[in-house]
Structure 1
Amino acid sequence: TAIPYYENYFGSTARPLRGDAYFMGLSYMEARRFNEAVQMFQKAVGERDALTQNAQLQIGQAQLKLGQKQQAQMAFEAASRDNFDPQVRETAMFNYALLAHETNFSVFSESIALFENFLKEFPNSPYTDQVNDILAETFLTTKDYQAALAAINRISRPGRRILEAKQMVLFQLGAQEFINGDMNAAVQHFNNSIALGNYDAKARNNAYYWRGEAYYRMANYPNAASDFQAFTQNASPADENYAMGWYNLGYTRFKQNQYSSAVTAFQQYISAETNRNRTEYADAHNRIGDSYYYNRSFAEAERFYTTAATINPSAADYAAYQKAFVMGLQRNYQGKADALDDLMRRYPQSQYFDDALYEKSRALVMMSRESEAINVLQQLVSGYPNSALSSQAGIQLGQLYYNGGNYQNSISAYKNVISKFPGTDDA
């Protein structure tokens, strides 16, 4: 070791050279005698030159070893001010920014600007990947995504990790606007996230899903369908929104009267859904039933309505009503009447109760049981005077009385409609 030589030299020399102090400091560093190293490097600091710059860098490194981060930060900052040795400036600037970051982990901290300047000045530095990782982590952990995006946009040559963070930040901005109810702003952020490509494939796919949700709420069903299609094609079945992607795709097809495509999507949802207790699970069966109904595949419609009622008994009145309605279309009028009786018995508070009464009266008429139909219609008129079907029921009553030769009751029924529903088409 050269330490004894240097110690002897410094002990016998009144004015040792700065360079000698610097090299003795390096010897102390190698021997892990960091306090003594700091003292020697401080003797090497003098006029503003390359030696001083190097000595300040070494002081910073030694102070780090001693756990004196504040003193180390000051030394690195001093070494980073000059450019006598660009490599020293690069190392000092990186360490200065790193220590500043440790003391203030925020997108508003000085370290972000320091790292931005570092990337601008040293784009090919061996520290570039580490700087990108630090910045990306900062951007992703902040809740101020607008500030994070502004900071990212100031980076002239962002690396992959920064672009990954940008894609996620843009998605989060879109999600915030979605929650706030500003669908147009949400769509714009989702557009920007998707446009970045596949730096963060999960963020991009989630942007497709939530842009689809935004478009759906804007009643832009073609665009919503396109996004849910893209999401389901790229998402893993393990994705938390995978099943709902198919469910939503089914609704976008259903809203566009694309019933065969809706059936396919809803069936994909049924296969993918792991929670069979979700209301959407029974609802999907009802929508498949509706789709088959609109395509006049009545047997299939009836089958899915039956399944829906079994899956979710608490909301089975709709399925039961639709099933009865389909029976009527199949000319099974007794089956329709029985099914409607069952619905009214099981769900006396159902919102479809008045509809059930009206449809039962129609089934009875088709079976030439007019007197029974009259009793059902009277129950509808008296029990649900505010129903939209009450006026139609009154007209039907008048017609049935007339057909049966009971002209006085027929006139009374028609007058009742005119007095209770003036200005309507039925009146």
Structure 2
Amino acid sequence: MKRMTILSAMAATVAGMTAQVNAPEIDGYLSRGTLMYRDQNYQGAIDQLTQLKRMSPDSHQAEEADFYIALSRLYRGELSEARQLLEAFVGDYPSSSHMLTALMSIADCDFYESEYEQALARYNAIPESALDLAAAEDYRYRKAYSLMKLDDWDAAMNGFASLRSTKRYSNAARFYQGYIYYAQGDYSKAKELLSSVNTSTAPGNRADYYLTQIAFTEGDYDKALSMARKAMNTVAEFTPEMQRIAGESLYNLGDEAEAVTYLEKYVAATNDPKPSALYILGVSQYKSGDLDEAVSTLGPVTACDDAMGQSAYLYIGQAYLKQGNVNSALLALEKAYRMDYDKKVQETAFYNYAVAKMEGGRTPFGSSVTMFEDFLRRYPDSRYAPSVQEYLVTGYMTDNNYEKALASIERIKRPSSAILTAKQRVLYILGSRDLAAGNVSQALKRFQGAKALSSQNKAMATECDLWIGDCYYRQGKYTEASKAYSDYLRYSGANSSNRMLATYDLGYSRFGEKRYSEARQNFEKVVKQPGNLGQDIVADSYNRIGDCHYYASAFSEAAANYDKAYSLNPEAGDYALFQKAMMRGLARDYKGKLEIIDDMMSRYPTSGLMPSALLEKAESYVALNRADDAVKVYRDLVKRYPTTSQGRNGYLQLAITLMSQGNRRQAIDTYKEVISSYPTSEEARVASDDLKRIYADDGNLDDYAKF
């Protein structure tokens, strides 16, 4: 009877569960979705739970749906979507019982995307003690793997050691410990561990690959050959490397013919073959008379700065010689004889180089420059040394290698006039390059050095004055800049193409010195006779003339020149219009000022002068007693440009204007906003003083102190 009761109860429970799963209501979708998730039918789970979300679920149902949809995305490999959903889940349900799993899953997204440093940081933020056994094992494994990928070998080794006794990760832990020993060069321990793993499943199926590498590295070529042949078909991605090991092992065992067979397969299957394999193939091709193939195959090997690279250069040079390509042979042979890893190769290369040179080969200067420098180092007192020195300098300049040309010149104890002329030109060119790169101090030194050699080329020395002026101007040394520009104008010819440019630059340096009258004269010369200067520079000169008049309080003259600047270059006319408006304001024509500012703002809505224009517009309204309009503009200014100095000032002026209107509460709030937003600014200091007076007038200094 009791058994019957139990069976009946079970049947009732199953029936209830079935009814719940098949129910069309929200609970039915939730039950089906979670069951599909547990059955790893992740797309089905997403479909069911997404439908649930459309049915106005309660908070618990929505939480469960969001959680399992996010995990389903994760296990479908949709990492970007999963991350977004999980991060949203953490933010939406901070008290969820799934929080730990959600945080772990976000870390897993980083892990699966190979963002190991970020994954590790996330794992470390999760207390392992709060995880169940399976999750804790996953946690330790992924942390150890991330540490290994970040080359934190010791910590990774300890992490894998803690997994050695687990059922799921024991084999992987031993494999990765073996790999770490391999990467550290401890082949004895690596072999011990890698030999003990189960090779029928990943990652243990890769163990033979590393064991083969160890045998080859240790010079046990018979064993390496045997293991490579066996491992070729274990993991497809390792097949080419095993072919290389087999080929190079055979080569070291003296079987070159079979070695080439393997290595040809390896090279054909690899985008970036190792130089050792290419060297063996290239030498074999050279010996068999396939000279074009040998040169092509050995080419990448020459990137190796070692005996193999030196030998590759030798074979390439000899191949070119056999083809009659003497110049190319010289290039390769010179490389070979300048490398001293293998003295015999060096000797052979030098001999071949000398023979090719004697047969009439010619090389570009840059390829033989080192030879001449070696000559000077070995034979500093030779009677040919002066000629070699001049050849070096000329060659460097021909190759546009001016830094080396200058260094070579500086080593010459008694330079000839030709060398000094070359030095002046080198300094001039290097100075212009330094200035273009923003290295102003270095450029100035170069130009001054070139100018000091004026006896070699006076015209070039004069051009240096123009550059020297530019350097001083960029450094803010306007007096020195003015002198340099003046020197240029004094010594350059009347027909010099840069005279008007120098005049324009002199105007700017004098403007920087606040010598406005003299600056205006320079700019007036430019607008009267611009020469080859562009219309934009002429327009800019009119702007500066206007500025000079402005500083002299000649506002109508300033406005007239701003008009000319605008008419010449309306595309960049925002400054001219703005300044013209300012002149109207200084003449107390506030309506006219407003009209021009509105025109400027409509024409140039992206102008950098927009904050200033809004501030001036508001202040003009204040001057016209149109406080309401001023308030609107101030509000627009602080909304659009809160971080600018004009925005800060606008906040303060808004408070003052509101106060003048009797809007005491709004004014106080605005003063507080100024102080809170810009606590270290001058505007905040003024606002604080005003606010203090207001509170004092109200008898509420305690409230002020609290604020």
TM-score normalized by the length of structure 2: 0.39
Cα distance change, pair 162–331 in 1 and its aligned pair in 2 (3 A): same
Residue 312 (structure 1) aligned with residue 569 (structure 2): yes
Q: How far apart, CA to CA, are the structure 2 residues paired with 1:150 and 1:394?
A: 59
In the other structure, the counterpart of 1:253 is 510
Q: Deviations over 1:151-210 (max 9, x none)?
A: 667484734x55444432332233344345443333233222212224312211222222
1:107-256 matches, within 5 Å, as 108=369, 117=383, 141=398, 143-146=400-403, 148-149=405-406, 154=412, 156=414, 158-159=416-417, 163-236=420-493, 239-256=496-513
In the other structure, the counterpart of 1:338 is 595
Q: Deviations over 1:321-367 (max 9, x none)?
A: 11111211122222111111211222222222232222122222223
Equivalent residues, number: 315
Gaps of 5+ in 1: 1-101, 122-130
Q: How far apart, CA to CA, are the structure 2 residues paired with 1:120 and 1:341?
A: 72
Q: How far apart, CA to CA, are the structure 2 residues paired with 1:371 and 1:184?
A: 53
1:23-422 matches, within 5 Å, as 106=365, 108=369, 117=383, 141=398, 143-146=400-403, 148-149=405-406, 154=412, 156=414, 158-159=416-417, 163-236=420-493, 239-270=496-527, 271-278=529-536, 280-422=537-679
Cα distance change, pair 194–366 in 1 and its aligned pair in 2 (3 A): same
- Say whether the 8 Å CA contact 1:193–1:207 is kept in structure 2: yes
Q: How far apart, CA to CA, are the structure 2 residues paired with 1:218 and 1:384?
A: 30
Q: Deviations over 1:203-223 (max 9, x none)?
A: 112222222222223322222
Report the CA distance between 1:275 and its aligned residue.
4.3
Report the CA distance between 1:373 and its aligned residue.
2.5
Gaps of 5+ in 2: 1-360, 688-707
SS of the equivalent of 1:272 reads coil
- Say whether the 8 Å CA contact 2:447–2:464 is kept in structure 1: yes
Give the letter aligned to residue 532 of structure 2. Answer: T
Q: How far apart, CA to CA, are the structure 2 residues paired with 1:228 and 1:197?
A: 17
- Say whether the 8 Å CA contact 2:372–2:392 is kept in structure 1: no
SS of the equivalent of 1:364 reads helix
Q: How far apart, CA to CA, are the structure 2 residues paired with 1:396 and 1:152?
A: 64
Give the letter aligned to residue 630 of structure 2. Answer: A
- Say whether the 8 Å CA contact 2:409–2:415 is kept in structure 1: no
Cα distance change, pair 348–105 in 1 and its aligned pair in 2 (3 A): closer
Give the letter aligned to residue 242 of structure 1. Answer: R
Q: How far apart, CA to CA, are the structure 1 residues paired with 2:486 and 2:513?
A: 15
- Say whether the 8 Å CA contact 1:286–1:305 is kept in structure 2: yes
Give the letter aligned to residue 425 of structure 1. Answer: R
Q: How far apart, CA to CA, are the structure 2 residues paired with 1:385 and 1:251?
A: 32
TM-score normalized by the length of structure 1: 0.62
- Say whether the 8 Å CA contact 2:597–2:613 is kept in structure 1: yes
Cα distance change, pair 336–199 in 1 and its aligned pair in 2 (3 A): same
Q: Deviations over 1:210-255 (max 9, x none)?
A: 2222222332222222112212333346545433322222222122
Cα distance change, pair 184–331 in 1 and its aligned pair in 2 (3 A): same
Cα distance change, pair 183–386 in 1 and its aligned pair in 2 (3 A): closer
Report the CA distance between 1:313 and its aligned residue.
1.9
In the other structure, the counterpart of 2:65 is none
Report the CA distance between 1:285 and its aligned residue.
2.3
Cα distance change, pair 351–186 in 1 and its aligned pair in 2 (3 A): closer
SS of the equivalent of 1:331 reads coil
Q: How far apart, CA to CA, are the structure 1 residues paired with 2:512 and 2:445?
A: 24
In the other structure, the counterpart of 1:42 is none
Q: How far apart, CA to CA, are the structure 1 residues paired with 2:679 and 2:404?
A: 62
In the other structure, the counterpart of 1:425 is 685
Report the CA distance between 1:301 and its aligned residue.
1.6
In the other structure, the counterpart of 2:698 is none
Q: Which moved more, 1:329-338 or 1:415-424?
A: 415-424
- Say whether the 8 Å CA contact 1:417–1:426 is kept in structure 2: no
SS of the equivalent of 1:199 reads coil
Give the letter aligned to residue 534 of structure 2. Answer: R
Report the CA distance between 1:117 and its aligned residue.
4.5
Cα distance change, pair 164–325 in 1 and its aligned pair in 2 (3 A): same
- Say whether the 8 Å CA contact 2:562–2:576 is kept in structure 1: yes
SS of the equivalent of 2:611 reads helix
Cα distance change, pair 332–106 in 1 and its aligned pair in 2 (3 A): same
- Say whether the 8 Å CA contact 1:321–1:356 is kept in structure 2: yes
Report the CA distance between 1:418 and its aligned residue.
4.1
Cα distance change, pair 374–156 in 1 and its aligned pair in 2 (3 A): closer
Cα distance change, pair 104–236 in 1 and its aligned pair in 2 (3 A): farther
Q: Deviations over 1:257-307 (max 9, x none)?
A: 1212222222333323434344x3332222222222222222222122222
- Say whether the 8 Å CA contact 1:139–1:145 is kept in structure 2: yes
Give the structure with higher Rg (CA): 2
Q: How far apart, CA to CA, are the structure 1 residues paired with 2:577 and 2:505?
A: 24
Q: How far apart, CA to CA, are the structure 1 residues paired with 2:492 and 2:674?
A: 57
In the other structure, the counterpart of 1:29 is none
- Say whether the 8 Å CA contact 2:497–2:532 is kept in structure 1: no
Cα distance change, pair 354–165 in 1 and its aligned pair in 2 (3 A): closer
Q: How far apart, CA to CA, are the structure 2 residues paired with 1:414 and 1:244?
A: 50
- Say whether the 8 Å CA contact 1:139–1:165 is kept in structure 2: no
SS of the equivalent of 2:564 reads helix
Q: How far apart, CA to CA, are the structure 1 residues paired with 2:639 and 2:431?
A: 52
Report the CA distance between 1:142 and its aligned residue.
5.2
- Say whether the 8 Å CA contact 1:119–1:155 is kept in structure 2: no
Q: How far apart, CA to CA, are the structure 2 residues paired with 1:285 and 1:293?
A: 12
Q: How far apart, CA to CA, are the structure 1 residues paired with 2:408 and 2:446?
A: 16
SS of the equivalent of 1:349 reads coil
Q: How far apart, CA to CA, are the structure 2 residues paired with 1:134 and 1:268?
A: 47
Q: How far apart, CA to CA, are the structure 2 residues paired with 1:341 and 1:407?
A: 30
